[in-house]
Amino acid sequence: MYPHTEFPPRAFPDTVDAAIRLASAGSLPALGLGLGLGVAFKKVGATYGSFDAAWKAALRSPVGVDAQRLVGFFQSNTGSLMVLLAGVGLLWLVQRWVKRERTFLVDLECFSNVPELSVPYETFERQSRRKKCFSADAMDFQMRMLNKSGVANETMFPPALQTDPPEPSMASAREEAETVLFSCVENLLKKTGMKARDIDVLVVNCSLFNPTPSLSAMIINKFKMRTNIESYNLGGMGCSAGPISIGLAKRLLGSLNRGGYALVVSTENITQNWYQGNERSMLIPNTIFRMGGAAMLLTNKKTEASRSLYELEHVVRVHLGAQDDAFRCVYQHEDADKKIGVELNKDLVNVAARALEVNLTKMGPLVLPLGEKLAFAANWIARKVFAAKLQPYIPRFNKAFDHFCLHAGGRAVVTGLSRQLNLSEDKMAPSANALHWYGNTSSSTVWYSFSWIETVQGVAKGERVWQVAFGSGFKCNSCVWRALKNIKREHGAWKHIAGQETRAVETIIKIEEESRLERAKKAKAEGTK
């Protein structure tokens, strides 16, 4: 969400400072304990004679005799005891490995570009003006935002918003949902060779469209799924609902005695959620939200590990809803003219920074390599204990992750996150392309980025992919996936960009530079006055 805002320059350094402080607190004591034990064993081994002598000299009572015998026992059986301890430790590790719950991503499918649904800028402007619900100022604002959004002419609008004039309805909203959901699920089942009756768990998330019967019921009816399927429909959870759905599916799979299969479907429906008023804070979603969705097949069957693409390593969820400013920073309501829309208010940037801070605090100990934690610890001690005038150490998350799927909420979100996380253009490219070619598709944006990586860059065995999404509530949720094999394959969603793989990043960088020059010119003019 929050498409055209800039992150505070200090948000991420402070965020990381807190995150790594906690990470270090968890890992450094363990490291210290290990090193301490190693040194202790070495010292005792080197001075065993003096150690024994000290015992014999100090203990002159009957207890001393027992103590001397005990020391003698340890002297004569040190090797055996060390082997025993090592064996117990190894058995414990093996037990943990055998019993650990593993969740695999078998495959995924994104709703592909349909040329007939593409809406160029000119069509967007013409249809919006013909609706005659926007003032001249509101129309000018929307076109300025659209031109600065980085969203291409190829993004999709549902048919109901392309009629002359647009006439959204419940029936047309259902049509949009069916077009996206049924296509994704059908293609995924074909790719995986699965039958609908094989699915044990179904989780569907869509924030703004929640009909009765539910979207999950629509899928069950269409594909004639089993009567005992566990189905869930998540609504009102915003753009970050994708990782929530993954986490829920993992837990539900874990409750099955013999394991099973989970189908996760993420989408957003915009037919009935196109704002038709004049409040600027509620107009921005009109310019970037577009039609899209994705379906994923998960399993916890270990026998499926060989054909699965990824293993789920972590799901980290953060919710700041207890804080009033966070709760209201992305808020659906009626404007003064009783027109319903989603408001993005001024607190959004700071709230997002706080949410990311907490997410990184939880994620850091799980993924950052020891070297990064030690570098932070040394920097923190120098600054806090010895008052050294140093900049806080910003960890390099590209040491923990190989690929990044940042929520394509808007141009400023993609570039801001990339800049603050010190990501190169190739790391920014997946999210930039998702935004450019498909717009903000809410919870499915991280899957468009995912499929772009597989199509264009490829993923090597053992590499990690990090998905991070922001959403109303306010939430920051993320997933970490580890590749189980080398993956390089074409997704239908990206066939239409052949030969144009660099266009998205080039476009966004150009807009960023133009915006910077505009700001500088404006500041100079204000300074002259």
Q: Which residues are catalytic?
A: 239, 319, 403, 407, 440
Q: What is the Cα–Cα distance from 364 to 395, expressed in whole angstroms?
A: 9
Nearest of 231, 222, 225 to residue 203 by alpha carbon: 231
As a whole number of Å, the CA-based R_g of the chain is 28
Residue matched to tokens 């753009």: 239
Separation CA 78–CA 402 (nearest Å): 45
- Whole-angstrom distance, CA of residue 273 vs CA of residue 332: 10
The answer for residues whose C-beta is within 8 angstroms of residue 294's C-beta and 6 or more apart is: 108, 109, 110, 111, 184, 242, 265, 266, 267, 444, 447, 448, 451
How far apart CA 155 and CA 440 sit, in angstroms, is 9
Q: Yes or no: say if 296 and 363 are a contact pair by the CB < 8 Å rule.
A: no
Closest residue by Cα to residue 269 from 187, 159, 165, 120: 159
3-state secondary structure (DSSP) of residue 429: helix
List the beta strands (DSSP E) in 119-260: 201-205, 230-234
Angle between helices 241-254 and 445-452 (to 10 degrees): 80
* 3-state DSSP assignment of residue 465: strand
- What is the distance between the alpha carbons of residues 99 and 94, in angstroms, rounded to a whole number? 9
Give the Cα separation of 406 and 434 in Å (integer).
10
| Dist CA 293 CA 177 (whole Å) | 9
Alpha helices in 368-444 (DSSP H): 370-384, 411-420, 425-438
- Report whether 187 contacts 109 (CB < 8 A): yes
Length of the chain: 529
Cis peptide before 474 (omega within 30 of 0): yes
Beta bridge partners of residue 330, listed in sequence order: 344
Contacts of 185 (CB under 8 A, 6+ apart): 109, 219, 222, 223, 263, 265, 295
